[in-house]
Structure formats: structure tokens, C-alpha cells
Amino acid sequence: MGDEKNFITCRSKERKPVHPLYTIVQELYRTSLQEGAVDGFLTLMEKKKGSGMQAVSAEMSTDVSSLDGSLFSQFLVGGLPRLLSIPKVIHTQMSGCFDKRLAVVARPCDVRALVELTKRNQVAFSNLFIIGLECRGNVPILDLLNVLKKRGLDPSKIESCRMTLTDVLIKISDRDEVSLKIGKDIKLRECCSRCNNRDPVTCDITLSTFAKDGSTDGAVFIRPETERGKNCLELTEKRGLLTTVSNPTPEEGRQESIVKSLEKQAAEKLMTDNSAFLKLNAKQRFDQFKMMIEPCTKCGLCIRACPVCWCKDCILLKKIKTIDPILLHVTRLEHMADTCVNCGKCDENCPKGIQLSKIYYGLASELSKQTGYKPGLSLEQIPQRSAKIFLHA
């Protein structure tokens, strides 16, 4: 299998898969189930025929063949719609997986949210077998479906989606592959442009989405991160479900340079956004903050969508119609200062288009400079508002 610290190239037994990552994940799920390492895996299905990602159901399955009808490739490109997210599903629908072991594919921001929920005793992280995606960003799935509709295309007939650094490529049945230019035809999530943590960090296996710009030859970069991840890969290969192609030094070097370049651009954008705000005096900052949240209608969707908001009895939601919008968001700022993982779900669900994650993540990034605490990057790092931090002082 090679050095576990480096990416290796694997190919599934299916030589020309619909989506290369999909077939790799399918075989990893199969091995995990057959070895008894997990009780099931998370799959995404249509709630009713033809609804696609507009009405998706996230469920635990033990039938690997069920992935054939899943919405996996659409999830890779566009994530889950509306209030749904991988951490939210695990936390609420699956009771934090305290009574079950689950295999799941997750983006870096999903993993970071799961780490923060674990620290708050809301998720049993050790019961999750996480296949993490090294991420190039994604587009809001509902925006993608609307773009297709405007072009007279039927989103329910999507066979697969994939993304390169410049395009979203969509295969619709009975048609040639449709190409959407990123930045022109469809925009990446705003939060993705300032994300300087493209690596899932805390997972069992990392799959790179950067390799060969979405090649469909079935070969992908893969790297075990834990002992159980390494065992799963070795067993999957031993059974002939995966084959190691080579250790592609030139291609891996190219992939690493892409990751570093994207992270550098994101760090520069985040610094630029924050420095402009920090140059203002206290009154100017507060005035700008008020101006940004002025359109707020206090609908509460930002709270409901946030994957790291976990209180079962939320006082803000209870009193949201009587709370001043400024007080509402000042309170949330305090809550998010050491928990925001920059997933962008608040932005996506805000009916007024307020870039809340820019505010929350901006504060979290500045706070991390002073405290050293970075949300979601380590299971061992103690949250700043935890009583434990005083015990360790």
C-alpha cells in the first residue's frame, strides 16, 4: 500500500466508472461492512422519484447496491440543500451515533463541525469511520439546479456531476456532458473562497478531489490517516476490489501545489477582509456590523442550519421575535467565536443574503491568533469557553 503519509493512486475494479470517487467509496463501504467495522453507511436518496437533491433523504444503509441510486456525485459538487448537512444529520437524525457505527463521506468543514460537536458530547466521533475529501470548494446545490432549469434542462435526469478547478461538468441522460464555468455560469460558495483548511485533518481515509482535474479513468489519489483506515484499504485491495496503480510523484506534486495555492489565496482573502474591518475604530466597526445585519428578519434559519448549534432548548429561537436583531447577532457572535467552521450554511439559508459566515469566521480567525484555538482542527484542543481550560491553566 505504500507509505501511509503519502497519497497513493488506486483504481476500482470498474475501469470506466460513472464517477471515480463514487466507485472507490463503494468498495471501501463494502469492506467496512463485511469486516464488521461499521453497522452501516450514510447514503443520500431521493424522497420521491424525480425530486433529486431538491428533496433528499439521508439514511443509514447496509446495502452497498443502494448506492447505485444515490445522489453521491451531486453531493460532491453541491453539498446538501437547505438546512441539511452531514454533521446535522449525524447529530439529530442519528442521535450522534452513540449507539451505532457509521461510515460517512465528509468535507473538511463537515469534519471540523463533527469535531466541535464531539467536544460538546453531542457526537461519538470514535463511532464514525470518516472518508474525508480534500476539497476544492463547492457550489450551492440549489443554485446549480436552478441554472440547469434556466437552460431548459431537467435536473431529475442528472446521471453524474464532477468538478474541475474551472468547470462543473454534468452528465444528463440522453445528452452530451454540460459544462458550467465556475465564476461565470455558477459561483462557488463565498465561504469556500476564504477556506484555508482544504484537508479534512481528522479522518480515517483522505480522498483527493484534485487529482487529474476530475478524470473519469477510475484512478484517484487516496491516503490512509489512521490504523483502521490503513487496514480498510489493505483489505479492500487484497480482495481485488481496488488496485494500486502507482505512486505518482509528478502528479501528486502538481496536486499538492494546487492545494497550497488555493489555501494561500484563501488566507490572503481572509486577511484582507479582516484587516479592512480592524482598521476601523470601535464605533465604525459597530456601525458596519449594524449595517451588515440590518436586513435581518429574525427568521432563525441561520441558527437552525448551523451544524455546530446544538442546544436542544435554544433561548434565541424561543424569543427570536422579541429580540432586537443586533442583540441576536451579538449573542451569536459570542457563541460562534470559538466554534465557527466556515461551512457557509448560514449564508446559504439566509433569505436576505447576509454573509453571516464572513462575520462569524472573521471573528473566529482573529480570536485564534490570540488564543491559538482553531475550531475543528483537533479533538484534543480544549474549547475556549470550556471549564476544563481553567483546570489546565
pLDDT one-digit tens code per residue, 117-159: 999 999 999 999 999 998 888 999 999 999 999 999 999 889 8
For position 15, what pLDDT does the model report? 55
Share of the chain above pLDDT 70, in %: 89
Residue 180 exposed, middle or buried by CB count within 10 Å (0-12, 13-18, 19+): buried
> So what's the pLDDT on residue 301?
96
**Mind listing the pLDDT tens digit for each residue in 157-193?**
898 888 888 899 998 988 888 999 999 999 999 899 8
Amino acid 257: pLDDT: 76
Least confident interval from 31-45, 89-103, 110-124, 327-341: 327-341
The answer to whether the CB of 232 falls within 8 A of the CB of 204 is: yes
Backbone angles phi, psi at 369, to 5 degrees: -65, -30
In the predicted model, is pLDDT for residue 1 greater than 50? no
- The answer to whether residues 113 and 307 touch, using CB atoms and an 8 Å cutoff, is yes
pLDDT in tens, 267-280: 888 888 888 888 88
- Mean pLDDT in the chain? 86
108 pLDDT exceeds 50?
A: yes
Average of per-residue pLDDT across 346-371: 90
